Amino acid sequence: MFVEDIYNWTSHYAALNNAHSKFEFSSIWHFDEAKKTYPPFRGFPGVYIYAKGKSKSSFDTCNLEVLYIGMSKVDLCGRIWSHVGTIYDPDTGQEWSPKFKKHQWSECAAISNELKEIIAEGDLSVYCIKTAIDSLENLPRALEASLISSYYLVNRKLPPLNQQF
């Protein structure tokens, strides 16, 4: 499943209750930008997608493979970083090599070495869907569940980095 499929599924989900105004799609953000910019929608709730590789495509036309679907009820930016950790060694203050060698999947036997290396090198693109802040406090969780379920129905498995659902 590709990023553009996530865009389409979200659009279908929003159409269920004429809730198009509940979702805002981000531009692409890449971990190469980590020292210059924050990931999209800092301080807002929503859903985020890790995709394999780099692209300059918009959300609705991106054909990168979806690796992970996650959500945050509070701060997308902080949640995006929580999986890969810091790029600096806390003892020396020097940048790790590879950049994200302490990512949360580094010791997971179910993840291929190729995928672990992609994560460690930061060769991931991130797309976000900001959810409206209103009385629907569980909207990020509901959207995440819908997208993971859609992925599962199409591929008969979870996204590679989603180890549980």
**Max Cα–Cα distance, the chain, nearest Å:** 52
Q: Smallest Cα–Cα separation from 21: which of 116, 132, 99, 117?
A: 132
Q: The tokens of 104 are what? A: 């949360």
pTM exceeds 0.95, yes or no:
no
Angle at 37 between CA 163 and CA 11, to 5 degrees: 55
End-to-end CA distance of the chain: 17
The sign of the dihedral angle between the CA atoms of 159, 162, 164, 165 is negative
Amino acid at 1: M
Give the pLDDT confidence score for residue 60 in this predicted structure: 95
Per-residue pLDDT of the chain (165 residues; tens, 9 = 90+): 999 999 999 988 888 876 667 889 999 999 888 778 889 999 999 999 999 999 889 999 999 999 999 999 989 988 998 888 878 888 888 888 888 888 999 989 999 999 999 999 999 999 999 998 676 788 899 999 999 999 999 999 999 999 887
62 near 4, Cβ under 8 Å? yes
Please tell me what DSSP assigns to residue 29: E
Q: Smallest Cα–Cα separation from 5: which of 145, 160, 154, 161?
A: 154
Instruction: List the chain domain ranges.
Output: 3-80+123-155
Amino acid at 97: S
**Cα(158)–Cα(151) distance, integer angstroms:** 7
Q: The tokens of 23 are what? A: 């979702």
